[in-house]
Structure 1
Amino acid sequence: MSTRKLISFCIPVFNESGNVERLIARLQDVSESLSERYDFEFLFTDNCSEDDTVDKLKAAARTEPRIRIIRLSRNFGFQRSILTNYLNARGDALIQLDADLQDPPELAGDFLALWERGYKVVYGIRRKRLESGLMTRFRKAGYALIRQLSDEPIPLDAGDFRLIDRVIVEALQEYNDYAPYLRGAIATLGYPQTGIEYDRARREAGNSNFGITAMIRLGMDGLFSTSMVPLRLATWVGIAALAVSVLAIPVYAIARYTDPTFPTGLASVYVLILLSMGVNALLLGVFGEYIGRIFRNTRGGPITIIQERFEAAPVQAGPVKADPVKADPMDAATLEPGQPPRATLSPGEG
């Protein structure tokens, strides 16, 4: 039995047919270069891809037994797909990267060297990105805003390309958020953490599935998941509005008393009413974001549902833990010892 530590490469995928074969080849090269010290598994979580991504992964798994595939029943979103991947990984340490090869798998050796020195989280810091200057500035502004408003420090210019230790995974098993922001959640756990700068490459093939709308939604999740500042801001806005109103009453009375020609038109009243309505609507929206998250988290139910597993080693079908990641009755525990990888279905927990 091998005494080498097991490292899990964790890769969420959605419509990445043009990239998965090149990605697997590079993962194999990296794992070969580190094979004297570590064993590896390649765990893919498919967010119900609409192309032949899963077919290509299954074809590769027939000759590469380290590949494990988890297919979700629908697209649950990028962050929940990552969390599902973490909770199903078996490694002593997990390295997460995107399937588009913008994050270099070859940096795994540097990540592992820092992990061996005692760091429980090692994240990639994006020094340069091959994208438009406007998009880069937009991202940096978003990272800076979330960091500034967060209750805990969140690394700047760091995405989801990271290594995490098994202790982080165990802590995340207690994480029950239906709009998770894992960058913030991991940052708030403590433990020794450090970063490595790298230049992010251009996407190898296909188009990004993470557009500006998804980016804004992720930013809102990051803000409302890690910070109470918006709620405190609502309080301070209310206090400021009340103070201005109290001060305006004597000012207006004195102005009317000392100058009978002081304007009495309705225009100023309308402006103040509209301004008050706008501020109230904004603050109600902030409250609604927090209340909506409370509702989703207290309502319960699975964070994701696993439709199918395809892997060489036998696994137990069913939930990974009580609520967050649930397998449906078609969840597959696969393969008898000695057989080539294939997906065969067996009853799971209903």
Structure 2
Amino acid sequence: MNTTEKFYLPVDGILEMFTSLTEHHQSGIMHPVLQSTPLAQHPKVSAIVKTVKGCWRQQDKRVVASRSSSSGIRQVSTDRLPKMSVDLLELGLTKPRNCHRVVVLGAPKVGKTNIVRRFLGNEFEENYEPTTEDFHRKLFHIGGEAYQVDFLDAAGERDFPAKRRLSILTGDIFLLIFSLDDRESLSEVCELLNEIKAAKAKLVKLKHPPRVPAVICGNKADLDSQRVVRRSEVGKILGEDIPFFETSAKNGTGLEGMFRALANLGGLPDETSPSRHQIIPILTYQSLCIGQRGRRGSRVPGLGAPCAALDPLACRPSFTSDLRLVLGSSTKHNKPEKCQIQ
């Protein structure tokens, strides 16, 4: 079975059904999504599928609360959330040029998660927990236009080259982070930068590595006594054509300039910086985008007031969707000879 087709069943209430079914079908149970098989038409299998769907609907609300808690987003009542993730491009509420995916890469423990938290408008988290993969979506309304910025923190892809390559190929902007107190993390950023250049060049079949829309971030500037990497070294190693910022996710040093650099690379307004807009509820944002007026007394900002909302249901698009995106972009230049992530 293709890995993109795997899914996990809720356990509660399902075990008894499978036990009953296997008493009559000792040969084993096929995956319920394989609808073409005779067993999939069995009435008890159909009942299992219906039960699973019902469990998923119930679990969606619990997952939202869990994701909100783990990512630092303020928890809200599930009956005040949208029914699904908000994709402005699919809904026809913005232009393709206003949608960007920022891929965050770097060695472990350099502060990637906290820098993303800062962009989302959340506070610094002192306790370290390894990130496997995190996907965030922030929706902006600035100057009467809607913008969508997706952040993919691909920390868990260090040991999976094909998966990391797919993330690189689908990225529009790259945020490469190392720690100023860890020289090896700078070496890893150099390797990642070369990997990005090679992947993008192969995608569009260029002979020479293209210029990468990337920002380099040397984090933990607050630990000055432990610093082992100097700014002059970074310029010699990485060159002067890529924006470099010394930052501190803990006290906010350098973050404003770094966020503005990301915005400039994507052609986004400066108001996408966290200090330049206010956060509004996701449902208020949806109403604003479709041109509905809030009720009397509501706090719906005017069209000229920069605002943003966090999508609490955002999740990374499927690998199948990303592969189609990659193959589609490559055919604009030349028909690919093989899958570009291999």
Common topology (TM > 0.5): no
Q: Using structure 2 for the length normalisation, give the TM-score.
A: 0.26
Q: Using structure 1 for the length normalisation, give the TM-score.
A: 0.25
- Greater share of strand residues, 1 or 2? 1
